[in-house]
Structure 1
Amino acid sequence: MNDAELAELLGRFGLSEKEIDTYLTILNHGEAEAATIAEDAGVSKRYVYSLSEDLEERGFVQVNDHLVPTTIRANPPEKVVDQLENQLDAMGPALEERFSATQPTEDDFEVIKARATVIKRVEQLIDRATRELTLAIPASRLDSVRDALRSAVHRGVFVVLLLSDVDDPADVPDVAGVSTVARAWSQAMPTMVTADSQSGLVAPPDIVLRTNSDTRAIAFVQEELGPVIVGSFFGNYWPPAEELYVVDPPKLPVSYRNFRHAVLAATLHLKDGDDLRARGRGRFVDDGETSFDGVVTGVRQGLVKPTNNSFPVEHSLVVETEDGEYTVGGEGAFIEDIEADELTLYRE
């Protein structure tokens, strides 16, 4: 790096052209009297004294005013760089807080360059979820979003958690209370999060695992893109992962607006041998509004093992009603008979 490039970088930290020339002169000498520095830098001796006090406060130099004559010594560059980094780290959270408060919510896409911002956006998405959250994140970063996940579970969000980069699932921290279902995968994979299939984030592994990554993450708010990310999550990453945790079956009756949550609950009750019924409202996929009420005779799902769905996003119930047997799916259903808006599971 030549002098001009170094001077430009120093200028970004608030030093004027004269201050830069004087500081570089001090660096070249290592330690010198004010008169020597003033002569070499082409400034007054009084200016050197005044500037040196400012540079000392900022950690660039040390003023030895106990000596006669006074000398000015440059601090080791690594110490200066460390101090600047500490100042930037301390400033980061305050900048993030202000930036988040004014971040336009209507933007479709946001390119993110910093790890701290990625984690902040993940937390915001977790807080935004009202029905369903899918999250894939390195196991080493779980604690940074643990409180947000716990809050989501507490308010009834269906939390599907996939921890990546796991050497030994036995070493994974407890995920009870921060997920509805959870799995672990040994591979490093993108950090992926969707909130209610409407907004989300995708980040390469490096940007979350390293502080000096030159990769970028993308956050989005787009209803058309959310289901694509959810499909990739369930299709490419969820199946090979090892099951870590499944919540206990809920007490009945229980109502859901998130259909995958309902399918999980039905699966768990059927596994326990419970007699289960379902009633709800929706529409026939090929014709008009309807309601249904009947015995749940089966499920098609890929949330917990053993899975039996024929493609990754197939999560449906088989309900035997007085009018016959119907398959029931959630929002966007197209191979099932009925697309349900809401559903209640109960016993007779």
Structure 2
Amino acid sequence: MLISEVKNNLGKLGFSKYEIDFYLTLIINGPLTSVEIVKRSGIPHSRIYDVAKKLSEKGLIEIINSKPRLFKPIDPRVAIQAYIEREKMKLESTGTSLLQNLEKIMENRKGDFYNISWVVESKFSELLVPNVRLAKHQLMISAFSEMIDKVLGEILWAATRGVNITLVVYGIPEKKDELTSRGVEIHVRKVPSLLMLVVDASASIVSDKNINYSIYTRDPVLVRAFMDLYHDSMVRHSKPLYIPPVLKGRFYSIWSIIYRVKGGERVIVEGKSTKSGKLVRVEGTIKDKVIDDGVATLILETAKGEIRVGGMGARFEDIEAAYFEFPV
């Protein structure tokens, strides 16, 4: 049973049947000659040397040029881990190059058919890292503490890049002090709910711990809906663990800032006029805020007078904001 499981795992790492049989024969018996390996493993003698060369290149065995030639296994506690790390680096390098080339191809595509939704046969945890890396300004995540701990490095790096990060954590993150020291907003919730991620205002993922798929969308309307759901259902029903005292950088959701503004903050707003539909950019000082019947509004004092600013979907204010930028 144990040998069968090891063979299965080696197969998942990309080893061929002969490589697995050769390697396990050495692990079980220690250093052997080619004749002894053929007798014990059943591998054809004509294949022994090319299989040995592949295992040697993978760093798993040593070929000793004695007479007769001897094949010796390297301590698997070191060799296997080193092999995995090399493969990770190769995969990372290949993946980076592939993504760069695919992005160039996508730039020349006709139509923006990527602004749609997909049901992805991937767990939420598998989609975290690539999407955290895509964040430029704002990132919102609700997940179990162990999931946050596994991608801690990526979250800290995003925070270092100036990304505003809000976490709703089911449990307490092991490295919460490292997160708060980088200005990451943290809320904790005892009762788990949905697994969610919103990247800027461009993409969102929703899933559940007990399923092996995720809903991934780049549809602007759905992303906006998930942003609202995140704040209304996740943040508002969680206990704040740490909230940064000062607003810095860019926020896409008005709900990310409405409870944090104190008045007097300078802010730049880009969006469109609710009357003319034209794109506008204003800069002013927050004079007041209004939260009424599920609608959030900022009142700005600008060079042209008082302006009322709402979030995405605003209809009754002067401006429907695409984002809010607080000078660093």
TM-score, normalisation: structure 1: 0.59
Contact kept? 1:298, 1:318, Cα under 8 Å: yes
Indicate yes or no: 2:124 matched with 1:123: no
The 3 A distance-change label for structure 1 pair 242 and 83 is: same
1:226 aligned counterpart, secondary structure: helix
Contact kept? 2:7, 2:20, Cα under 8 Å: no
Cα distance in 1, alignment partners of residues 257 and 19 from structure 2? 67
Q: Pick the structure with greater CA Rg.
A: 1
The CA RMSD measured in Å over matched residues stands at 5.2
Number of equivalences: 292
2:61 maps to 61
How far 1:122 sits from its partner (Å)?
Answer: 1.5
TM alignment of 1:216-227, pairs within 5 A: 216-227=213-224
How far 1:175 sits from its partner (Å)?
Answer: 3.9
Contact kept? 1:330, 1:339, Cα under 8 Å: no
2:290 maps to 300
The 3 A distance-change label for structure 1 pair 8 and 190 is: closer
Contact kept? 1:249, 1:269, Cα under 8 Å: no
Indicate yes or no: 2:37 matched with 1:37: yes
Indicate yes or no: 2:87 matched with 1:88: yes
Alignment counterpart, residue 330 of structure 1, candidates 288, 311, 314? 311
The 3 A distance-change label for structure 1 pair 177 and 171 is: closer
How far 1:78 sits from its partner (Å)?
Answer: 5.9
How far 1:109 sits from its partner (Å)?
Answer: 4.3
Alignment counterpart, residue 164 of structure 1, candidates 149, 153, 169? 169
The 3 A distance-change label for structure 1 pair 94 and 114 is: farther
The 3 A distance-change label for structure 1 pair 14 and 196 is: closer
Cα distance in 2, alignment partners of residues 249 and 222 from structure 1? 28
TM alignment of 1:55-204, pairs within 5 A: 55-66=55-66, 69-74=68-73, 81-103=80-102, 106-107=113-114, 108-109=116-117, 111=120, 112=122, 115=125, 118-124=128-134, 126-127=135-136, 129=137, 133-136=139-142, 138=145, 140=149, 141-152=151-162, 159=164, 161-165=166-170, 167=172, 171-173=176-178, 175=180, 178=183, 182-187=185-190, 192-202=196-206, 204=208
How far 1:22 sits from its partner (Å)?
Answer: 5.1
Identity of aligned residues (%): 13
TM-score, normalisation: structure 2: 0.62
Which letter maps to 2:186?
R
Cα distance in 1, alignment partners of residues 170 and 8 from structure 2? 42
1:119 aligned counterpart, secondary structure: helix
How far 1:223 sits from its partner (Å)?
Answer: 0.8
How far 1:94 sits from its partner (Å)?
Answer: 1.6
Cα distance in 2, alignment partners of residues 42 and 167 from structure 1? 52
Structure 1: gaps of 5 or more residues: 154-158, 207-213, 251-255, 273-277, 302-308
Contact kept? 1:331, 1:340, Cα under 8 Å: no
Cα distance in 2, alignment partners of residues 168 and 21 from structure 1? 43
2:274 maps to 283
1:269 aligned counterpart, secondary structure: coil
How far 1:260 sits from its partner (Å)?
Answer: 1.9
Contact kept? 1:32, 1:72, Cα under 8 Å: yes
Structure 2: gaps of 5 or more residues: 107-112
1:13 maps to 14
1:238 maps to 235
